[in-house]
Structure 1
Amino acid sequence: MLRIWLVSLIVQTRSCFAADFPWPAAEFRGVWVATVSNIDWPSSSHLSTHQQKLELGAIVDKFKSLNFNAIVFQVRTSGDALYNSSLEPWSTFLTGTQGHAPSPFYDPLEYLIGKAHAAGLEVHAWFNPYRARAGSTSRSGLAPNHMANRFPSHAHAYGTNLWMDPGSSEVQDHIVNVYIDVAKRYDVDGLHMDDYFYPYPVSGQDFPDTSTYHVYQNSGGKLAKADWRRSNVDTMINRLNREIHAVKPYLKFGISPFGIWKPGHPSGINGLSAYDSLYADAKLWMDRQWLDYIAPQLYWRIDPPAQSYPALLDWWCQQSTHGRHVYTGNAASNAVTKPDWSVQELLNQIQISRNKRNELSLGNIQYSAKYFMHNDKGISTNILSLYKSPVMTPPMPWLNVPVPDMPQVTGTGSSLSWAGDSTGHTYRVVVYRLYADIWEITSFLDAHTTSTTLAEGEYAVKAVNRAGMESNATIVHIKNGAFNIIG
């Protein structure tokens, strides 16, 4: 009897302090799924609807199994749409002909959101803003409602691509409308912009925006051309931030700029200047709090001093003076395809990012999905050594979304249930299990799910809002068919 009493006392004492055991550190574990040129999905523009769905489902299943928690899905490669849009034509990368809808009809973005959310993964819709056509400077073959045909005087051949003029107010308005349309109609978790602002420079060519600049000057504008170009991009970023959050305050707005703001920042860094060549002043955007996260593309190795991964990451973290998150963009592609790289290099980079958690380095986004789908050079197998169990994406308290109430759990034996949240503040319910004095996530449940069945053990049930803010936990102990709430 004494032994039984002591065991019971130990369990009760442990349970009293269960909520004090460490919770898993939140970390953004994202992957870019590129659709331009069929890089990641669909594998061909001639697949059937059924085949496309199978491939999307396989992507979700793979990254859930690797304990990722976010898919950054390219929905607009070059004035096109991989979703059902009244503003822009269906992408040629989806159906082989721009403007042709999938047949039988389905909406890839809607389909992905359903699959990913059921698996506990966020979906961030990724847009390329100004590129009008990749690999061709011609408007021939573009659908009538393509932006290059709607605004032909602002569509310019530059290098091997067709590009829209960021200085055109018509182009700016159209791009903002495209973003807001997706924000309104789709249950995405975030909206994402990549590194293409003004195009990467082509030797011997200046971007042909002289006429737009003259219009600006004739209206009384005094900025030098380079400053005017930066101002055009700044205006776009500021508008997107304000208008996206006006539609849905919880939406996460992120940008993945080129990894070097300016050479010499930090000291010793050389390379292309995003500030001077792409007219992208990401430092200003962070200073003004015009984004929720930044994902600088640090596609260099750790050691070379001219583009040092840790030195650049330090610099980007130092720019986050208002608490905005830094999710490093990593080149998984380099780890697989470049002889002077290795998968271990990538793992080391992720660990370096983790070591700077106190400096708001809170995750990574991998480019791109196909290398993990194929497990090239064992990259998927190896990343599980770091991504050992699921975690939440980092919370964003500044989004000012109400924190949900703690779930009021009841149960019989191993079956738990709780009331649905009538306030609408709950996005999902997360169930943790206590393993060796550490909590680990066992399941993500959507807000409509109000019950679950669990094996014996000690569990915590929390409600989470769209900004990643968690409620207090209800602690539950299940043993020998008995159910007890202990905290």
Structure 2
Amino acid sequence: MHRILYIIPLLFLFSCAVSKAPKKEFRGVWIATVANIDWPKHPEDNVAKKKKDFIDILDFYQKMNFNAAIVQVRTAGDALYPTDLAPWSRYLTGTEGKAPSGFDEPLQWMINETHKRGMEFHAWLNPYRATVSLDTSLLSQNHDYYQHPDWIIQYGKKNYYNPGLPAVREKFNKIIEELVTNYEIDAIHFDDYFYPYKVVGETFDDAETFSKYGLPDQSIEDWRRSNVDSLVKNVHETIKKHKPWVQFGISPFGVWKNKSTDPMGSATKAGQTTYEDLYADPVLWVQKGWLDYLAPQVYWSMDYPVASHKIITSWWADHTPNTNLYVGNGTYKIKNNADKAWEKKNEIPKQLNYARDLKNIDGNIFFSAKSLIGQHEKVNKKLQKKYYALPAENPRPLNKVVRVVQLPAINSVQVNNQKLDICIAHSDTIPRFLHLYQVKKGASQLIGKQYLSESLMERCFEFNLTQKQLRSDLKINIVDAFGNESAMQPIEKIKLR
């Protein structure tokens, strides 16, 4: 009994601690389209079903108070939007190069639906993966495999763009430029596919390119890293040239280097590493200021012997302090992995606790969207009640442009049942969010957020609130795309009728 009485207060303290979420926290989810992992469920589904399935994903994570969707718009030399730079993706239409009937602008539609739910839209691309298999009969004749065969290197069971060719980088920059200028996206996002993961007994055949473009006394390893560095630097410059407020984020493989090969590396025993095998150096990119955020994929359990989530997360927090740092969590492993730690419902909660306790970590991204939908109810309940009970502001870019954001004007306010309908007008040219705050004892708590489009200066929004929230003092403000905030604007009680 004494032991039980001792444990109860500890449990209470633990519950209070985990329920106190940071005011600003990135809560993202990867929506993978390659191989129809998350969406569309099947490329030949009709448009209505495709739209419903995407909305179901957004609604699930909106209810969980997530604030960003990272959606894969280019999987392997293809595109999920109309462009002359790549064929339509077969994961969207069933046949590569075939336009989706009755769904002319799927990317624009996905962006709109994401923004309607107060979430950022990050366009996720794979720069170097040209095909997902060696079956080239599935490719459109407009694919770069046919248009530029000299760009392609076969390795393992896939084809890759040759990162050492300037023409490859130039083409990819055009792709980024088109996306940034044509769509109201919030970020460009890359994952961990740079040079390919190594295949035993095979050689990535870029020796001829190295002999042509390599510098004197430069090793092929350093040359490969310099190629990826150039891509990252050029993409950063392209984004900021056109829309400085659009962010650039990369999600590298979790281990930079093992300590066995470099004292600066992590105390891990990863079979491959980002720096030595994928020829990617995220630490350098952060130092150079080429990224707005970094999201290493730390998909192992907390105490996994070879690559502990705890050790790796701490390593990134210590070595990349000059950027927003988000942890990539492998929710797809819950009850689906040989590591028994994933059988427990508290593995992900423990990882979230750990990240929140570290100074330089600003949020999390879950892979992938389908991993929690319709399953793992106990995990979901815990996440909703203890971690994501209320909305969170999206983190601000560290290198933001400071500017003045004017107060929004409140045109009308109505209450219908427990819904607050509010119409506002604003004068900002690059708005991002309308924030709704509940004021209690002088402190402001975010209770609702809506996305503000660059093209509409007057908007009406609906917030679902409790009676307690409606009776309290409420205020709004505007946050621009750089993270600058306007002053608070009170909602007068007389309008709440």
Q: Shorter chain as normaliser: what TM range?
A: 0.7 to 0.9
Is 1:240 the equivalent of 2:239? no
Counterpart Cα distance in 2 of 1:59 and 1:315: 32
Is 1:254 the equivalent of 2:265? no
SS where residue 346 of structure 2 aligns? helix
Is 1:210 the equivalent of 2:212? no
- The answer for the alignment partner of 1:345 in structure 2 is 347
Conservation of the 8 A alpha-carbon contact between 1:326 and 1:362: yes
The superposition leaves residues 29-71 of structure 1 with CA deviations (integer Å, 9 ceiling, x where unpaired) of: 0000001100000011111112111111111111111111100
Counterpart Cα distance in 1 of 2:483 and 2:287: 23
Distance 1:451 1:149, change over 3 A: closer
Distance 1:453 1:299, change over 3 A: closer
Conservation of the 8 A alpha-carbon contact between 2:118 and 2:451: yes
Is 1:320 the equivalent of 2:320? yes
- The answer for the alignment partner of 1:278 in structure 2 is 278
The superposition leaves residues 258-302 of structure 1 with CA deviations (integer Å, 9 ceiling, x where unpaired) of: 010001144522212211100011111111111000000001111
- Amino acid of the residue matched to residue 460 of structure 1? K
Conservation of the 8 A alpha-carbon contact between 2:292 and 2:398: no
Conservation of the 8 A alpha-carbon contact between 2:411 and 2:424: no
Counterpart Cα distance in 1 of 2:165 and 2:305: 39
SS where residue 326 of structure 2 aligns? strand
Is 1:157 the equivalent of 2:163? no
Counterpart Cα distance in 2 of 1:168 and 1:139: 22
- Amino acid of the residue matched to residue 471 of structure 1? S
Counterpart Cα distance in 2 of 1:38 and 1:345: 27
Counterpart Cα distance in 1 of 2:112 and 2:38: 19
- Shift, 1:451, TM fit: 5.3
Q: 1:77 aligns with which of 53, 75, 78?
A: 75
- The answer for the alignment partner of 2:7 in structure 1 is none
The superposition leaves residues 338-394 of structure 1 with CA deviations (integer Å, 9 ceiling, x where unpaired) of: 2511331011101111111x32x0000000001122233544333213111111110
Between 333-342 and 31-40, report the one with greater CA deviation. 333-342
- Shift, 1:314, TM fit: 1.6
Counterpart Cα distance in 2 of 1:418 and 1:405: 16
SS where residue 124 of structure 1 aligns? strand
Counterpart Cα distance in 2 of 1:452 and 1:241: 34
TM-score under structure 1 length normalisation: 0.88
- The answer for the alignment partner of 1:12 in structure 2 is none
Is 1:230 the equivalent of 2:235? no
- Map 1:11-160 onto structure 2 (within 5 A): 25-134=23-132, 136-160=133-157
Conservation of the 8 A alpha-carbon contact between 1:124 and 1:192: yes
Between 380-389 and 429-438, report the one with greater CA deviation. 429-438
- Amino acid of the residue matched to residue 394 of structure 1? P
- Amino acid of the residue matched to residue 227 of structure 2? N
SS where residue 277 of structure 1 aligns? coil
Distance 1:105 1:319, change over 3 A: same
- The answer for the alignment partner of 1:387 in structure 2 is 388
Counterpart Cα distance in 1 of 2:102 and 2:94: 15
- Amino acid of the residue matched to residue 215 of structure 1? K
Distance 1:418 1:168, change over 3 A: same
- Shift, 1:332, TM fit: 0.2
Counterpart Cα distance in 2 of 1:286 and 1:255: 10
Q: 2:431 aligns with which of 421, 426, 429?
A: 426
Is 1:442 the equivalent of 2:443? no
SS where residue 274 of structure 1 aligns? coil
The superposition leaves residues 239-272 of structure 1 with CA deviations (integer Å, 9 ceiling, x where unpaired) of: 0111111110110100000010001144522212
- The answer for the alignment partner of 1:355 in structure 2 is 357
Distance 1:309 1:405, change over 3 A: same
Between 312-321 and 80-89, report the one with greater CA deviation. 312-321
- The answer for the alignment partner of 1:470 in structure 2 is 485
- The answer for the alignment partner of 2:194 in structure 1 is 197
Conservation of the 8 A alpha-carbon contact between 1:298 and 1:329: yes
Between 455-464 and 429-438, report the one with greater CA deviation. 429-438
Counterpart Cα distance in 1 of 2:211 and 2:194: 20
- The answer for the alignment partner of 1:11 in structure 2 is none
- The answer for the alignment partner of 2:400 in structure 1 is 399
- Map 1:290-301 onto structure 2 (within 5 A): 290-301=290-301
- The answer for the alignment partner of 2:11 in structure 1 is none
- The answer for the alignment partner of 1:459 in structure 2 is 474
Conservation of the 8 A alpha-carbon contact between 1:336 and 1:371: no
- Shift, 1:140, TM fit: 2.9
Counterpart Cα distance in 2 of 1:292 and 1:443: 22
Over aligned residues, Cα RMSD in angstroms?
Answer: 2.4
- Shift, 1:400, TM fit: 1.2
- The answer for the alignment partner of 2:467 in structure 1 is none
- Shift, 1:24, TM fit: 5.8
- Shift, 1:108, TM fit: 1.9
Distance 1:432 1:250, change over 3 A: same
Counterpart Cα distance in 2 of 1:467 and 1:38: 33
Counterpart Cα distance in 1 of 2:184 and 2:411: 30
Distance 1:451 1:377, change over 3 A: closer
- Amino acid of the residue matched to residue 440 of structure 1? L
- The answer for the alignment partner of 1:14 in structure 2 is none
Structure 1: unaligned runs, 5 residues or longer: 1-21
Conservation of the 8 A alpha-carbon contact between 1:403 and 1:465: no
- Shift, 1:310, TM fit: 2.0
- Amino acid of the residue matched to residue 281 of structure 2? D
Counterpart Cα distance in 2 of 1:412 and 1:185: 34
SS where residue 38 of structure 2 aligns? coil
Counterpart Cα distance in 2 of 1:110 and 1:416: 26
Q: Percent identity?
A: 34
